[in-house]
A and B are shown apart, each in its own frame.
Chain A
Amino acid sequence: MSTARLVRHSLKAMGRSKLRSGFMMLGSLVGVAALTLVVSVGEGAERKLLATVRQLFGGSSILVFSGGGRLMGGPRAGASRLTLDDVEALARELPGIEAWDPQQSSTEPVRYGGASDTARILGQSERSEQVWGRGVSRGEFFDAAAVAGSARVALVGETVVRELFGDEDPLGAEILIGSVRFRVIGILEPFGTDVHGMDRDDEVVVPISTAMRRLLNVDTIRAAKLQVADPAAVEETAREVRRLLRERHAIPSGRPDDFSLITSAQVQKMVARVQRVLFLFLPLVAGISLLAGGVVAASLMLASVSQRVGEIGLRRAVGARPGDIHLQFLLETAVTTLGGGLAGLVVGSIGAQLVANRMGLEGILSWKAILLGIAAAAVTGLLAGVAPARRAARLQPAEALR
């Protein structure tokens, strides 16, 4: 008995039962596609989260927000009392702070010619490039003189460029933010979507002084990022920041802060929690997809055995040993589930790419997903094939032929 001959014969026979083979493939295709998609997108989201966190909290830093820590609280007196002077004083008095950048923001209509776009306007200092790690891809960042002089210069994100300029070169163009005229001097490095799903390319960055005086007419800032030189000193510095701010805002002890602080250590903890959830969730989804594909393949194969009792009997009559029948049925399941699994990998990868494009994730094709997908298909195939193949091999030829 030549095994190679039997293998060739089985493959050919499967080709003749296209519907049955097709449905079996579909089972593992759907399972593996779901698996690939979920693992790829999950990994992409995790990478994105880590990248965002690195950008926000690169190295060691403290974020100061105006307003207390209550997320759901209504507005209250003194809620927005963080000023540039506050942050300047912090930087002056705490030698551990090596750099800082204030931030004010609002959402305004931006117009150029007939086109308009509603964008997030960020007021920042010239140090923003260094502190936040986001510079310009073309043109140049505004300098300290522009911040000191409240210059009406703007850096625009790529979404804004697309919405307002189309194919035109935005550098040097005059745009209207609200009713104030600005000159575009740079294009912001692309960022994509952040973890909140916000398009960070639909942004315009202007000097903080210009934003405060000419656009918003406020003398407070919304937030500031303080960079701490020594990573080990972040928590200590944060305590000092809190003490100084309470002192400057004259908050009596027992009253809550009118600002909130987030340190990189807190964020690390949060990230670790998210990663733990992903770590549990992804294998769970993988397991469920695998199970679904396996159950479909196994039941189809069992049905196939019952349907082909006569064929099995005939094969036994003309000389097939139980082992030959066993091999043929295992082979059929293995080929269909593996074939379906490979197709599922392709479908899942394409799906993941589509989702990634939508969500602004990148580097989506995950080797882990591919290996997991192939392993899942193989395991499914084996598990789904074993029982039907055994049943087929154990049929008594005399009964099978009846």
Chain B
Amino acid sequence: MIELYGIGKTYARPTGEAVQALSGVTLRIERGELVAIVGSSGSGKSTLMNVLGLLDRPSEGHYLLGGRDVSDLDVNTQARLRNQKIGFVFQTFHLLPRTSALENVELPLLYSDRTSTQGLGRRALEAVGLADRMDHRPSELSGGQQQRVAIARALVNEPDLLLADEPTGNLDARSAGEIMAIFAELNRGGRTIVIVTHDPNVAAGCGRIAQIEDGRIVADERLRQESQGAQAAAGEAR
């Protein structure tokens, strides 16, 4: 699903000084995996997330998404891939204010090539258990509910890959548990999910933990042999 080969990313500080955010990152993530990327702040995990999500371009190395080299696509093709293949969940939800849950969820459909988008938003909200909150605005929802709306939005175009950046960072323990349960459920359904986090509880819920420090992967372990989702996906592939 995801293959990174020797990915490096160098930023120029405003002072002109170069910062190596990622260097030599090589990582393979199979279809159906639930992976946590952990690391302290400034370790490069957000940069890695941006590269995975095609929000940022690596300075070196190759990134293959679904077997296709996407390291150097033009912005419009990147946008289309993000729209079709990747769903994003952010720490701060990033919901549009004064806009109903349903319309927030339908936002990716606005930029999709689909000819018919009828009922997709509704179905995505039902999948995260918010069928009765369709017309509520973000300000009328709890933090956990807002994050569920954001997950529904990430799912609405039925992407292969779900990227979550500190999805529980702004939530209390109970809501965080609910969100993780949804991720686990989605993963069981065969979806590939990558979660960036520094919360050990969140990481513990994942099948695999990759640790990043100073822009390098320093540890990569599988907690369980294979997640059920990965097996299911492998089964489908055969």
User: Which positions in A face B, CB cutoff 8 Å?
Assistant: 1, 5-6, 9, 12-13, 16-17, 310-311, 313-324, 396-398, 401
Contact = CB atoms under 8 A, between A and B. Distances in A.
B130 to A, nearest CB: 18
A17 B90 contact: no
A318 B108 contact: yes
25 contacts: A5-B110, A6-B111, A16-B98, A16-B99, A310-B94, A311-B94, A313-B94, A315-B111, A317-B53, A317-B82, A318-B153, A319-B79, A319-B83, A319-B84, A319-B157, A320-B79, A320-B111, A321-B75, A321-B80, A321-B111, A322-B76, A322-B79, A324-B111, A396-B56, A398-B50
B49 to A, nearest CB: 9
Contacts of A12: 103
Question: Which residue, of A310, A314, A324, has the highest number of chain B Cβ atoms within 10 A?
Answer: A314
B94 A314 contact: yes
B55 A317 contact: yes
B171 interface: no
Given A1-B111, A397-B56, 7 more contacts: A13-B99, A16-B99, A313-B94, A317-B82, A318-B82, A319-B79, A321-B75
Chain A interface main SS type: helix
B113 interface: yes
A3 to B, nearest CB: 11
Contacts of A17: 98
A13 B104 CA distance: 11
Interface of B: 50, 53, 55-56, 75-76, 79-80, 82-84, 88, 90, 92, 94, 96-99, 103, 107-108, 110-113, 153, 157
Contacts of A313: 94
A314 B161 CA distance: 17
A321 B79 contact: yes
Contacts of B90: 314, 401
Contacts of A315: 107, 111
Contacts, number: 73
Contacts of A5: 110
Contacts of A320: 79, 110-111
Nearest to A9: B110
Contacts of B55: 316-317, 397-398, 401
B108 A321 contact: no
Contacts of B56: 396-398
Contact of B75 (A1, A9, A311, A322): A322
A397 B88 CA distance: 12
A6 B88 contact: no
Nearest to A311: B96
Nearest to B104: A314
A80 B12 CA distance: 91
Contacts of A321: 75-76, 79-80, 111
B50 A318 contact: no
Contact of B111 (A310, A319, A396, A401): A319
Contact of A319 (B82, B92, B94, B96): B82
Contacts of B108: 318-319
Contacts of B83: 318-319
B98 to A, nearest CB: 4
Contacts of B92: 310
B41 to A, nearest CB: 13
Contacts of B153: 318
Contacts of A317: 53, 55, 82, 88, 94
Nearest to B114: A2
Contacts of B96: 13, 311, 314
B80 A319 contact: yes
A236 to B, nearest CB: 79
A318 B76 contact: no
Contacts of A398: 50, 55-56
Question: Which residue, of B55, B98, B111, B112, has the highest number of chain A Cβ atoms within 10 A?
Answer: B111
Nearest to B137: A16
A311 B90 CA distance: 12
Contacts of B79: 316, 319-322, 324
A19 B76 CA distance: 33
Question: Which residue, of A12, A320, A323, has the highest number of chain B Cβ atoms within 10 A?
Answer: A320
Contacts of A310: 92, 94
Contacts of B113: 1
Contacts of A318: 82-83, 88, 107-108, 111, 153
A396 B78 CA distance: 13
Nearest to B77: A321
A311 B104 CA distance: 11
A225 to B, nearest CB: 71
